[in-house]
Chain A
């Protein structure tokens, strides 16, 4: 690159930066487009001794999209979750709106896109965003940039957006993506349900250690996407944190309740995925080689302290293999084999999950029936089974109503065993605007 070109690039970068900092300067902002949805959800939990109505959230999402010229785009969304039942515990709570009508409000996503930044072939996205990696269907061992969103047990494959700087360079049909995240965003757990995903550690009094906000504790990742004939593939590298904490100190001093200190271990993941189709059958494979750091745990039992390795720094592989096919009668079949659930880590701790999902729509897509089946094979001996049927009525544009169930059964020690008490029937209504 010669000096003139360097200067030209620098000028362009300065100009765009100034535009971004000054609210896009003189560039005319297009009329913002507002959209979103309201979803009302009722959960009847039947798995325990008696049926109860779960205080599950209803959700209102307001999105604002604004293209600015041909190269800039602004997106933000507010997530408002409100609950059915008050959390009043004393008379003083009756004076408080937030106790009577509890809610959570967050900026879900907020980012700026710049297309053709510095070079025609470079796009950047800056801000709170979802970066979805991996070509498997929702069960992606290479999707580690955003934390898991377990706030809804029924939709445990969701992810939470996090703040990142992402640049994507395009080379014909190939692209190179680089991402930098200033720090970790931890997993989002269901209300009062940490133990569902974290086991016993979720039941103790706990203290979380977040990494210090220093540059050395930031996270970064690269990914190369390419195509060879009808095969699409990617290779990726992630250097960051596991968003699920691990115990590093345990105190058992009766009669005090057990206490646990937890931290987020650093890890690297070398990933690859592949997707193609053969005779109309979609096929995919995705794998992540996890390179964890060693984690030690200090145990204090009745004042006696001991130290042991809680987690070895041995590499392990998580993978998902899958395929899908649409039969001529319209039935859609999607099957996947996932080795290693989101919360599982360590070579000896990975279990196998076989997922079979069937979908069929009726009356010109006015009604959709989905049957989800999951078989958990824990250490190739203990079994768990999950069944999630759902019927969705979507005859009116922008509206759908669904009724379904999430039913699980598992032998002791399985993940699904921990979820058994949360067997539930749900009814939901959603309007998009």
Chain B
């Protein structure tokens, strides 16, 4: 016991200096996912600023709702030419788009998920992802700038559009802070950074996200407001019936 007491300060020092000690990459990835999905449901308003290489800015305003890992609803408020357009995700292969001009909900194939979402730098896949461990395996872990750095490779048969990802998360609360996206040629094509991290109603949430397309030098900055957690949204809120209803 005396001997243990003598090494205790050393152990404490080691754990503070190397917080991942004893944790496998998959465990850390699972904790990151848990933080991202800690709430049962969430809704928010997103203001998007699309900035091109000549610094011209376009703005989008969308309402988002999510429940669990699967259910997502995104509806456009602005600009006028896409007002009322809605996107519903019931599962990775059950995606729907509502186009008010045609008064019709259209099923969209998951191959479209590698396309950018309404001119932003986020693809449909990026917009709807809340769990990385579902499709990726954490292969490598290290510390960088006081953050966990994980290399994620797609699981066999996973329907994803990236060769691999490198993600960074805070060591203190496992909040995701940065994602680097690599295409099939293993070139880094996009970078997502997450800032303004706050604890809202007991949940960690980054209120500003910036997705940069490196080749096009185009960026989408997304700010969240009116964030609400655990409102008891029912599954029926995520339906074609709701998708077709006008935004109030």
Q: A282-B108, A330-B115 are known contacts. Are A230 and B91 too (CB-CB below 8 A)?
A: yes
Segment of A8-16, A188-196, A320-328, A416-424 in the binding face = A320-328
Instruction: List A residues 269-296 near B (Cβ within 8 Å).
Output: 275, 277, 280-282, 284
Does the CB pair B109–A282 fall under 8 Å? Answer: yes
Q: Bits for A389-420, please: 1 = Cβ < 8 Å to B, else 0.
A: 00000000110100000000000000000000
Find out whether the CB atom of B80 lies under 8 angstroms from the CB atom of A433: yes
Bound form: Cα–Cα A232–B91 in Å? 13
Within 8 A of B (CB), among A291-325: 324-325
Which of the 9-residue segments A81-89, A129-137, A204-212 touches chain B?
A: A129-137
Find the B residue at minimum CB distance from A134: B104
A364 interfacial by beta-carbon distance below 8 Å: yes
Residues of B within 8 A of A113 (CB): 245
Which residue of chain A has the shortest Cβ distance to B78 in the bound complex?
A397
For the complex formed, measure the closest distance between the CB of A155 and the CB atoms of chain B, giving whole angstroms.
12
The answer to whether A280 touches B104, judged by C-beta atoms less than 8 angstroms apart, is no
**A280 adjacent to B110 (CB under 8 Å):** yes
| Contacting pair A364 B93 (CB below 8 A) | no
In the complex, which of the residues A73, A132, A173, A365 contacts B116, with contact meaning CB atoms closer than 8 Å? A365
With CB as the reference atom, state the residue of chain A lying closest to B109.
Answer: A282
How many residues on the B side are at the interface (Cβ–Cβ under 8 A)?
39
B171, CB-defined interface residue at 8 Å = no
User: Bound complex: CA of A387 vs CA of B32, how far in Å?
Assistant: 51
Q: Mask for B146-178, Cβ within 8 A of A = 1, else 0? A: 000000000000010100000000000000000
Does A123 lie at the interface of the complex (its beta carbon under 8 Å from any beta carbon of B)? yes
CA distance A232 to B104 in the complex (A): 14
Complex Cα distance A173/B118, Å? 27
Q: Are A328's CB and B58's CB within 8 A? A: no
Task: Kindly report which residue of chain B lies nearest to residue A225, judged by CB atoms.
Answer: B240
Q: Chain B nearest CB: distance from A292 CB in Å?
A: 27
For the complex, give the distance between the alpha carbons of A175 and B236 in Å: 13
CB < 8 Å neighbour of A325 from B58, B93, B111: B111
Closest CB in chain B relative to A433 CB, distance in Å: 5
Contact with A67, one of B103, B118, B248 (Cβ below 8 angstroms): B248
A30 touches B (CB below 8 Å)? yes
Chain B nearest Cβ from A428, distance in angstroms: 14
- The distance from the CB of A370 to the nearest CB of chain B, in whole angstroms, is 15
Q: Nearest residue in B to A74 (C-beta to C-beta)? A: B246
Q: Chain A interface (Cβ within 8 Å of chain B)? A: 30, 35, 37, 65, 67, 70, 73, 75, 113, 115, 123, 129-132, 135, 137, 168, 170, 173, 175, 230, 232, 275, 277, 280-282, 284, 324-328, 330, 332, 363-365, 397-398, 400, 432-433
Interface residues, chain B, CB within 8 Å of chain A? 50, 52, 58-59, 79-81, 83, 91, 93-94, 102-104, 106-112, 114-116, 118-119, 121, 159, 161, 184, 213, 216, 218, 236, 239, 241, 245-246, 248
